[in-house]
């Protein structure tokens, strides 16, 4: 059993995706400041993703305003109307795979919706929510 467990840990470490490594690094960052931290939460992430807020342009928006709540569908940019690729790998195999791209858009999109950057905890929460729907 011990050996089996060891093999599973080894194999999953071998196949951990870069995006999972990124989530892990955020987790370590939060833990440094908050030793009681219990890990990221899909529920908190969903709230961050779906809650409306007066955004950058003075309009009430949420992440859903551009991405929709169905991750398998294309989104539509709230301000420009441009199509946005789906966030689910079921319809977009590249979704949520490129860490740099994810970081870039988290930065921009938190500002769009919340007028500020997301904290490491908020970023981790929203990422575990998005990843739970992306794969």
- The least distance separating ligand HEC from the CB of residue 36, rounded to whole angstroms, comes to 25
Of residues 7 and 69, the one with the C-beta less far from ligand HEC = 69
Candidates 2-10, 22-30, 31-39, 84-92: pick the segment binding ligand HEC (CB under 6 A). Answer: 84-92
Asked if residue 129 binds ligand HEC (CB under 6 A), the reply is no
Phi, psi (degrees; rounded to nearest 5) at 53? -150, 150
- Cα–Cα distances (Å) from 15 to 8, 19, 40, 73, 95, in that order, read 11, 11, 21, 27, 17
- The least distance separating ligand HEC from the CB of residue 101, rounded to whole angstroms, comes to 4
Q: Are strands 83-84 and 75-76 parallel, antiparallel or unpaired?
A: antiparallel
User: 13-17 contacts: CB < 8 A, separation 24 or more?
Assistant: 17/97
Binding site for ligand HEC (CB under 6 A): 49, 61, 63, 65-67, 77-79, 84-85, 87, 95-96, 98, 101-102, 105-106, 109-110, 112-113, 126, 130
């Amino acid at each position: 059993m011990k050996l089996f467990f060891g093999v599973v840990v080894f194999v999953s470490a071998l196949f951990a995706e870069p995006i999972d490594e990124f989530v892990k690094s955020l987790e370590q960052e939060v833990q440094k400041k908050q030793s009681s931290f219990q890990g990221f939460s899909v529920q908190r992430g969903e709230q961050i993703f779906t809650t409306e807020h007066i955004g950058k342009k003075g309009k009430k928006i949420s992440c859903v305003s551009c991405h929709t709540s169905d991750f398998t569908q294309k989104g539509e940019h709230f301000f420009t109307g441009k199509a946005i690729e789906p966030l689910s790998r079921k319809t977009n195999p590249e979704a949520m795979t490129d860490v740099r791209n994810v970081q870039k858009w988290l930065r921009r999109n938190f500002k769009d919706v919340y007028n500020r950057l997301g904290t490491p905890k908020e970023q981790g929460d929203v990422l575990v929510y998005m990843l739970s729907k992306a794969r």
